[in-house]
Amino acid sequence: MSSNIKSIDPRKALSLEIDFILHNLMRIQGVSAVAMVDIDGLITHIRHNSEVNTDAIGASVQVVFGAATKAALHVGHHVTNMVICENAEGYILSTPIDAGFMLAMVTERDALLGKVRFELKETIPVLKKLFANYLLK
Amino acid sequence: MHWFESQLSSLDQLAEAYRSSQPTSYDDIVEVSEEICLKRSQFVHAVQALVNKVVRIKGITACAAYHDGLILAHSGKTPHIDALGAMIQESTGVAQQSSATLSLGEIEQIVIVGAINKIAILGVGPITLCILSPRDTNLAHVLGQDIKKHINLNT
């Protein structure tokens, strides 16, 4: 039976890899925060260059994603791959990773949405694989 | 070689380098993620650099690059930048349908000429490049010349 308690080495390696990926995502023009959110809406990793309420963002991203997933199911769209919130001062993009974890990105209004989405879409398979490897260990 | 063609060719090479850096097996994706990231970054920076260069040519109003209809890079006066992306997606879809019906092959470019302005849409790797200019601009001519001769010194 697999346990949720892992030895420290794989956790440390995963953490470093995630930090590296978040660091790369933060380099995109207009991105102000990138966070990994667990199934309970708690932030496990975060990088930000402006004041962000980490507790609020984690919980609200999970709530919004849950609502969007339900909406997608109601209209027969099956799996939700990404939720984009367009706000007066920027965007929030959230994408599911694995085991209820999500990647959330907060951007300024001047961020190039196509660029952010392109990077995010290309990064997700790497994060999914990292999590899959970790959960198997 | 035509200046713009040579630029597109360089971009195509970077897009191909990025595409080929992606592993054939999903199992290897973590090992090569750093290289993929680097190639992607090179490609995206080259797109932004080309967009910046093109817009400095006299007779070009704006230049923008889109991915799946969403803005990736832009320079110059681009009115309704999001609407333009949606329009490009729509035009590309229609062109692809026509291409299939008429056996034209893969769509390489679309030019829409209006009474006042015109727009050229070109596919480069995963992105769509779009050039706006006044109707009278001879795009083939201005984009074909050595860029140094055509850069608008007033900008």
Report yes or no on A50 lying in a domain. Answer: yes
**B149-153 CB contacts, 8 Å cutoff, 24+ apart:** B150/B57, B150/B58, B150/B59, B151/B56, B151/B57, B151/B58, B152/B56, B152/B57, B152/B58
Over residues B41-98, the pLDDT tens digits come to: 999 999 999 999 999 999 999 999 999 889 999 998 887 888 889 888 889 989 999 9
A84 contacts chain B (CB < 8 A): no
A16 and chain B in contact, CB less than 8 A: no
CATH code, domain carrying A120: 3.30.450.30
Residues of chain A neighbouring B27 (CB-CB closer than 8 A): 129
Number of helices (H), then strands (E), in chain A: 3, 5
CB contact under 8 Å between B69 and A17, yes or no, is no
Structural domain of A64? 8-136
Residue A46 has pLDDT above 50, yes or no: yes
Say if A92 falls within a structural domain. yes
**Contact between chains at B36 and A129 (C-beta distance less than 8 A):** no
Kindly report, residue by residue over B87-126, the tens digit of the pLDDT: 888 899 899 999 999 999 988 899 999 999 999 999 998 8
Higher pLDDT, A6 or A50: A50
The model's confidence at residue B155, banded by pLDDT at 50, 70 and 90, is: very low
Q: Is B81 on the interface with A (CB under 8 A)?
A: no
> Does an H or E element contain B113, and which?
strand B109-113
- How many residues belong to chain A? 137
Nearest CA in chain A to B22: A122
Q: So where are chain B's domains?
A: 3-150
Q: Does residue A3 belong to any structural domain of this protein? A: no
Report the length, in residues, of chain B: 155
Q: Is residue A46 part of a domain?
A: yes
Residue A1 lies in a domain: no
Q: Which of B36, B40, B70 sits opposite A117 (nearest CB)?
A: B70
A99 pLDDT tier (thresholds 50, 70, 90): confident
Q: Are B40 and B22 in contact (CB under 8 A)?
A: no
| Total number of domains constituting chain A | 1
Task: Enumerate the residues of chain B whose CB falls inside 8 A of the CB of residue A133.
Answer: 30
Q: How far apart are CA B121 and CA B107, in angstroms?
A: 10
The answer to whether B24 contacts chain A (CB < 8 Å) is no
In a domain, A36, yes or no: yes
B25-34, B38-47, B139-148: least confident range: B25-34
Give the chain B residue nearest A119 (alpha carbons).
Answer: B40
Chain B touched by A122 (CB under 8 Å): yes
Q: Copy the structure tokens of residue A70.
A: 């339900």
Task: Please give the CATH superfamily to which domain B3-150 belongs.
Answer: Dynein light chain 2a, cytoplasmic (3.30.450.30)
